[in-house]
Amino acid sequence: MAAVEQIGGRAAAPRAPFWTVTRLRVAAVLVIFALWEVAGASGLFYRGVIPSSALVAKAFAGLLGSADFWFHAGVTGFEVLVAFAIGGLAGAAFGLLLGVNRYTGAVLEPFLHYLAPTPKIVFLPILLILFGVGVGSKISLGAISCFFPMALSVAAGVRQVNPVFLRVSRTFNLTRAQTVRMVYVPALVPPLASGLRIGLGVAIVGCLMSEIKLSRMGLGFSAMEYYRVFDIPSMLAVLIFIFLCAALGNMAIDRFVRLPGPQDRVRRAR
C-alpha cells in the first residue's frame, strides 16, 4: 500500500486508453506505408522513383540472398566497427584527459568545440593521400568523425560528476581507485552512452560518405551502383539495410551501456 503511494501516480491506470503508445506507433508506421504507396501510384513523381513497397521488399529479399551483397555489407561493417573502436577509444581517452586536467581542458576545448560540428568529409582528400583509396581512408574518416562527439561528451561528463559524491567518498575514506570505480565510472555511463550513440552515427556517415565518393566496395558503393543503373528498389533496399543496422547498433548501446534504474526491477517483477 505505502509502496504504491510512494511511487506517486505512476501506478498503472485502471483501464488502458485506446490510443496506447504501442498502438500509436504501429499506426504511425502504417500511415507512412500508406502515404508511400499513394505517392508511388499517384503518378506525380517520375516513374520508378517511388517503387511500391512490394518491389522494395522483393529487392530486399534478393539482396539478402546474394553473396555479393554480403561481401559489401561485410566491408562496410568492418570499416564502421574499426572506425568506431578507434574513434571511440581515442575520443574517450582524450575526453578524460580534458575533463580531469583543467589546463589541458582550457587550452584544447575551444578547438574541439569548433571542429566537432565541421563536416569531416573535407579531410577526405588528405586521408586518401595518407591511407590510399582502400578501406584505410574510410576507416580513418569514420574514426575522426566518431572521435569528436565522444571526446566532448566524456569531457563534459567528467566535469559534471556531482561534487557532493566526491565529498561523500572522501568522508568514507575511499581510495583513489575506489573513487574511480565506485563513483566516476558509474557517473560517466550516461555521457558515455550518448557519446557512443552520436559517435556510431557519425562513424557510419563517415565510412559511407567516403565509400560513395571514391570506392570499389562497401554498401555506399553498392547503393551508388544501383542508382547508376536506375535499380531504385535495390538501392532503397540497401539504404533500408543500413538504416536497420544503425538502429540495431543504437539499441544495443541503449541496452548495454546504461545504469541500473527502476526499469530493471519492473522487468524482473514481470
Partner 1 sequence: MTPALSIQNVAKTFSTAQGDVRALDHVSIDIRAGEFVSVIGPSGCGKSTLMNIVGGLVDDYEGEVHLDGALVRGCQKQIGVVFQEESTFPWRTAIDNVAFPMEAAGLPREARMARARELLELVGLNGFENRFPSELSGGMRQRIAIARTLAFQPRILLMDEPFAALDEQTRLLLGDKVLQIQQELNQTTLLITHNIAEAVQLSDRVLIMSFRPGRIKRVIDIDLPRPRSSKLMGGEKFGQYVAAIWEDLREEASKGLQDMERVRAGA
Q: Quick one: 182 or 246, whose CB is closer to partner 1?
A: 182
One of 12, 13, 122, 164 touching partner 1 (CB under 8 A): 164
Q: Are 90 and 143 a contacting pair, CB within 8 Å?
A: yes
Please identify which residue in 4, 26, 186, 214 interacts with partner 1, judged by CB under 8 A. Answer: 186
Q: How far is the CB of 150 from partner 1 (least distance, A)?
A: 21
φ, ψ (nearest 5 deg) of residue 134: -80, -155
Query: Nearest-5° angle of CA 30, CA 237, CA 149?
Result: 90
Burial of 103 (0-12, 13-18, 19+ CB in 10 A): exposed
Q: How far is CA 21 from CA 17, 25, 35, 251, in A?
A: 10, 6, 21, 18
Contacting range for partner 1; rule: CB under 8 A; set: 45-53, 173-181, 192-200, 226-234: 173-181
* 178 sits near partner 1 (criterion: CB under 8 A): yes
Confirm or reject binding of residue 261 to partner 1 (CB under 8 A): yes
Whose Cβ is closer to partner 1: residue 68's or residue 254's?
Answer: 254
- Burial classification of residue 43, based on how many CB atoms lie within 10 Å of its CB (0-12 exposed, 13-18 middle, 19 or more buried): exposed
Binding partner 1 (rule: CB under 8 A), the pick from 3, 12, 13, 21 is 3
Amino acid in the structure at residue 245: C
**Among 130, 91, 94, CA closest to 210:** 130
DSSP letter for each residue of 232-258 = HHHHHHHHHHHHHHHHHHHHHHHHHSS
Contact between 22 and partner 1 by CB under 8 A: the answer reads no
In terms of CB distance, is 124 or 188 closer to partner 1?
188
9 binds partner 1 (CB under 8 A): no
Cβ neighbours around 94 below 10 Å, total: 20
Contacts with partner 1: how many residues (CB under 8 A)?
25
256 binds partner 1 (CB under 8 A): no
What is the closest distance, in whole angstroms, from the C-beta atom of residue 151 to partner 1 in the complex? 23
Instruction: Please identify, using beta-carbon distances, which residue of 59 and 188 lies nearer to partner 1.
Output: 188
Among 23, 102, 113, 170, binds partner 1 (CB under 8 A): 170
Residue selected from 47, 110, 260, 267 as contacting partner 1 according to rule CB under 8 A = 260
Q: Roughly how many angstroms between the first and final C-alpha of the chain, as a whole number? A: 19
CA distance 155 to 149: 10
Q: Shortest approach of partner 1 to residue 195 CB, angstroms?
A: 18
- State the cell numbers at 24: 500509436
Q: 55, 85, 108, 174: which one contacts partner 1 (CB under 8 A)?
A: 174
Interface with partner 1 (CB under 8 A): 2-3, 6-7, 162, 164-165, 167-174, 178, 182-183, 186, 189, 259-262, 265
